[in-house]
Amino acid sequence: MPNSVLSTDAGVVRVTAPGRKECEGTGDSPGDGLPLTSVHPNFTLTNLRPSGFEPRVTGMDWLADSRLVICTWGGTNDSGTSQAGEVWILGNTGGNTSPGAVTTKRIGSNLKEPMGLKIVDGVVYVSEKMRLTRLVDTNGDEVADQYQQVATWPYGGTFHEFAFGLLYADGYFYINLSVGIDYGGATTNPRSRSPTAAPPSKSTRTPARGRTSPAACGPRTASGGARRTASSSPTTRAAGCPPRNWCTSSRAVSSTTTSTRPARSRAPRSPNP
């Protein structure tokens, strides 16, 4: 069809209809051009979700006794008052198990969209939207009695300012901060999580007791990371970008860090802020 017969209204952006789109080639296979249809033969899929337990898992780590600890998203709103995130311990998740054998125990609640969880010396830490929080059990029942604010970082109150992929190494936590986005897709301006004229998002590190400092800037929404060496912390960028603010996506990047001066953590906060 010649281009001369095609037209659209000036100044109007057309989007594709909803639903999955596929382009199939003669050499395509599941996972390479076509949707996955089964588990990779090198893996065994085991259902660990008991009936009625439907957590929106955003982070996980393991206790020394091999029990699994997860945090859940808990919803979002633009007012900064959503506090429905939770932390759970799951037992009997390894070996020959089944949903009926898995146990669940809620040990934390009233969290602001926790997107990362790490256990250090038996203590659970979670990255909420604007702070790193330590869950402290004072009476031995494993349920958090204190929610201690370890450190904070800039937060402008938009729905998209997540704190992903909590890592820990050499006395420091590493968090990936997402760029703020307005409803409709435009990047929030001014950008609360970046210095003036700096890239929109950054990876941040904080001592176990101290203030945060930037470790790298540039990713739009670095939604994952892995610690490779004592001085490098790769992150991965999320696919897609907001309209009118296009940038590269879906690639892995590597960053190096420098030392910072530790500072005292803030006072504990109530379990029901």
- Predicted pLDDT at 63: 97
Q: What is the pLDDT along the chain (273 residues), one digit of tens a residue?
A: 777 877 767 766 555 566 666 666 667 777 776 777 888 888 888 999 999 999 999 999 999 999 999 999 988 666 667 789 999 999 999 988 999 999 999 999 999 999 999 999 999 999 999 899 999 999 999 999 999 999 888 888 888 888 888 888 888 888 888 888 887 777 788 777 654 323 334 456 655 556 677 666 666 677 777 766 555 555 554 444 444 454 545 566 666 554 333 334 445 555 544
- Predicted pLDDT at 235: 55
- Predicted pLDDT at 201: 42
Question: How do beta strands 29-30 and 33-34 pair?
Answer: parallel
- Predicted pLDDT at 73: 92
CA distances from 130 to 57, 153, 156, 192 (A): 19, 6, 9, 11
Sheet of strand 202-207, all strands in order from the earlier edge strand to the far edge = 163-169, 172-177, 202-207, 213-217
Q: How many CA atoms lie within 13 A of 160 on its CB side?
A: 22
- Predicted pLDDT at 183: 76
Contacts (Cβ under 8 Å, ≥6 apart) of 82: 74, 75, 76, 112, 113
Dist. CA 141–CA 105, nearest whole Å: 11
Dist. CA 73–CA 111, nearest whole Å: 9
Question: How do beta strands 213-217 and 202-207 pair?
Answer: antiparallel
- Predicted pLDDT at 125: 96
Dist. CA 240–CA 85, nearest whole Å: 26
